[in-house]
Amino acid sequence: MSAPRILVAGAGPAGQALALALAESGLPCTLLDPAPAAPGAAGGADLRVFALTPASLTLLGRLGAWPPPQAERVQAFRRMQVWERDPADGFVLDAAASGAPALGTIVEHAVLQHGLAGRLAGHAGIERLQQATVVGCRQDGTGIEVELADGRRRRGAVLVAADGAASPLREQAGIAVDRHDYGQAGLVANVAATVGHGGVARQRFLATGPLALLPLADDAVSIVWTLPASAADRLAALADGDFGQALTEASGGILGRLTPSGPRVCFPLRRQLAQRYVEGRMVLLADAAHTVHPLAGQGLNLGLADVAVLVPLLAAAVSRGLDPGNAAVLARYARARQGANALAAHGFGAILGLYAWDLPGAAGLRAFGHGLLRRLPALRRAVVEVASG
């Protein structure tokens, strides 16, 4: 008897990784991709980058999706430097503290997507439908059926909604979300620097919000600059020279003179947590379930952690002859991931709030914390282990 089919709506990195993990576990999968075609090889630099932890890379490696075909566009970093006013008063996290080869790896969205799509292509356990926008679903005691905008239908035992932060499936299911708008925007750009980044990720906490300087291949740098929304729009509209000067000053010149090498994009920053992860035979995964502040670059890592929990639960149920859409099976996934994701999301918000705290003595308290991290190897090791997943 063949294993029950799992439907996956959404073909971003988490959705593609989920489809591949399901198929590799012996569970046939239908990937419902709203795009007209699978992503091709990445062309020019992609502003969207991910800082993948070693735990995420291990999962992708087990699936045969890492390293990607365009591995020359991947940049690992062994150290992370964090400071507020003076780099000497900040702290450095080093992968050597935990014996890991790297703290993380920066990869462009398009590079990762292309690598995953190539691994999925032709996989016997995966049916990939393009231009597959779900407009409705109906479930009963034996399965769930989706209807696509073009009239096609597919039926499976479970439907996983990995269809993004605005998740139409989550909305259709009536699952409410708790939202917190930070009143800020993330300004994203790729820049050239006159000083090499040395494979170090850097983050400076400014009064307006954190500025992340992420190392890319060929000594390029990706920035994520958190700012009040009006300030982000104003800076994004500056001429290249003026923007480069403002960015160089904001970074304290730690990488020398910074010059934009392409467009700038602003996006609103908000935390969003689904109030529940399961509705009958439908489960939420990745951004459909949770979005977090980009402060720690953990958004996709949390989504891949969802994959790492959900797939073994479904596979174990099938191996025992159980219905993978059984309420008890899906509830175990929700219990395992909802609390962990909420803790991470609120934790990132707390760190942001700590650095934004401007009451008397706050700067001294932060300096004291930095000093502890510099002096206590065990504390640094614990932080590194969390940061590396």
Q: Are the C-beta atoms of 178 and 275 separated by less than 8 Å?
A: yes
In a domain, 344, yes or no: yes
Say which CATH number the domain at 313 has. Answer: 3.50.50.60
Mean pLDDT in residue range 280-308: 93
Q: What is the DSSP string of 266-298?
A: EEEEEEEEES-SEETTEEE-GGGTEE--GGG--
Mean pLDDT of the residues in the chain: 91
Residue 186 and residue 239 in one domain: yes
For the entire predicted model, the pTM comes to 0.93
Residue 186 and residue 261 in one domain: yes
Domain count of the chain? 2
Residue 231 and residue 172 in one domain: no
In a domain, 71, yes or no: no
In a domain, 197, yes or no: yes
Confidence band, pLDDT 50/70/90 cuts, at residue 371: very low
Residue 212 and residue 340 in one domain: no
Tens digit of each residue's pLDDT (9 = 90 or more) over 66-115: 999 999 999 999 999 999 989 988 888 888 876 778 999 999 999 999 99
For residue 248, what are the domain limits?
A: 182-270
Residue 195 and residue 342 in one domain: no
Percent of the chain with pLDDT over 90: 78
**Lowest mean pLDDT: which of 165-169, 195-199, 328-332, 370-374?**
370-374
Q: CB within 8 A of 367, min separation 6: which ones?
A: 84, 89
Residue 30 and residue 144 in one domain: yes
In a domain, 68, yes or no: no
Among the three residues 236, 270, 304, which one is the final residue of a domain in this structure? Answer: 270
Residue 227 and residue 338 in one domain: no
Residue 161 and residue 266 in one domain: no
pLDDT at 347: 82
C-alpha closest to that of 201 among 69, 95, 293, 305: 95
Residue 155 and residue 196 in one domain: no
Q: Is pLDDT of 245 > 70?
A: yes
Residue 158 and residue 186 in one domain: no
In a domain, 249, yes or no: yes
In a domain, 139, yes or no: yes
pLDDT at 295: 76
Q: Is pLDDT of 323 > 90?
A: yes
Q: Is pLDDT of 378 > 60?
A: no
Q: Are the C-beta atoms of 114 and 42 separated by less than 8 Å?
A: yes
Return d(Cα 305, Cα 56) in angstroms, integer. 7
In a domain, 203, yes or no: yes
Among the three residues 218, 245, 270, which one is the final residue of a domain in this structure? Answer: 270
Residue 327 and residue 307 in one domain: yes
Confidence band, pLDDT 50/70/90 cuts, at residue 38: confident
Residue 250 and residue 130 in one domain: no
Q: Which residue has the higher pLDDT, 382 or 219?
A: 219
pLDDT at 380: 46
In a domain, 364, yes or no: no
pLDDT at 353: 65
Return d(Cα 209, Cα 380) in angstroms, integer. 23
